Structure 1
Amino acid sequence: MTAQKHQLLDQVLIAHGGLEHWNHFSKVRATLVTGGSLWGMKGLTQDSAPRQMTVWLHEQRASVMPFGGLDQRTAYTPDRIAIETTAGKVIAERSAPRESFRDHGETTPWDPLQRAYFNGYALWSYLTMPFLFTSPGVLTEEVEPWQEGTQRWRRLQVTFPENIATHCAVQDFYFGEDFLLRRHDYNVDVSGGLPAAQYVHDYVEADGLRMPGKRRAYRRGANGQPDKDALLVAIDLSEISYA
């Protein structure tokens, strides 16, 4: 690890509220509104109704409600996905859910459990970054900067171990002069390796921590440029609170 790499990650953590402060909390809740073309590509419909997302910060666990019914929610961990009632009755469940995406392409349809798994791991990742980068087994390296219009963004390449469920093993994160996240590049392994560039903005501060309020993921071309006419996923977060 180089001193420069240490410096970038340390500054990023400070800009988002600080690792020590983050460690005082165990979960985060947020109101979630999603859209984009990915759902249609997967044979799904997506409404604009707000939902409640809960993410546990120090274990891979998440839940969104309502899901498929006003009294239903998801229960996500990497090894199991379930749809259950708010009283805890299991409606459907699947062990080793990642295996169900084997040989999937970009337009392979998803069933409700696959949709729930994708939602679980993706939102868990987004709502724990960048503090997730300090987890055991996660490797970070500063790579060459990126010119985005008139701005020069520093880049952190992050390699995740197999035990962390996320989009893909190696992902790139771009940071502005204020060390806040601007862009996040990845391939969606559960959708045929679909390449995406996700732009984040409208940061909000909650309980002393800072989190992007809006995320927009576009198809990423071979040259690294996003296709702004191909919006894959839109995520709006509000009413963020830590406990």
Structure 2
Amino acid sequence: MKKLLTIAGSDCSGGAGIQADLKTFAAHKTYGMSVITSLTAQNTMGVTDVVDLSPEFVGKQLDAVFSDIYPDAIKIGMVSNESIIKVIARKLREYGAKNIVVDPVMVATSGSVLMDSKANNTLINELLPLADIITPNMQEASVLSGIEVNNKEDMEKAAKIIAKFIDGAILVKGGHLETSADDLLLIDGKINWIEGEKIENPNTHGTGCTLSSAIAVNLANGMDVESSFIKAKEYLIGAIGDGLDLGEGRGPLNHLY
């Protein structure tokens, strides 16, 4: 059985964060483990509070996992301050971690800001270079590239800027495009567009977490980056399209559809 690790924040309402990641791992019949970076008070309507764990405790969680059950792939989500980012990067290098997927969670689906602005440079310099693939949405690509990203042309420009400081693949997700859900995948300087249709379902809480976790599963199973993403997107489309409707705001997906 493949072993998957999520390094991310906790969503008490179960739709995003480590809860979404572990559900995704289980749906793919893999063994899921978690290192929690932050605790959030959130639901389908938004985030009301965040408590970061100490960098020291995050490091101890990583030691506990890597020294006993070495993960075949790692998904990294919410890392809200620079001290935590530095600890994670140091431990990943120390243990020679492989198949790393970084979802730079800066803004929640509800629009809530989840990352300290001071942590952006640390994320870019310390953590993103370790990734096999990063998966920013259009808002996050704007932050990483320093340009406004509103359309497909902007997505291409942003990806090329981001590629200047990381060697891994870059997936700029197009879920916020007006007329399509096309995604841009840049690998080794080559841009590939993966077409997708918008699904009529407002319940998209945790889509980014779910997609990046599914990519990690597929990498652990030996797929290349592009195939890992394509298969992960198929799973995500099914989870959204199932039409689960929970909560008063943007509800979660059905990970076990």
Shorter-chain TM-score range: 0.3 to 0.5
The structure with the largest helix share of the pair is 2
Give the TM-score taking structure 1 as reference length. 0.33
TM-score, structure 2 normalization:
0.32
More strand by percentage: 1
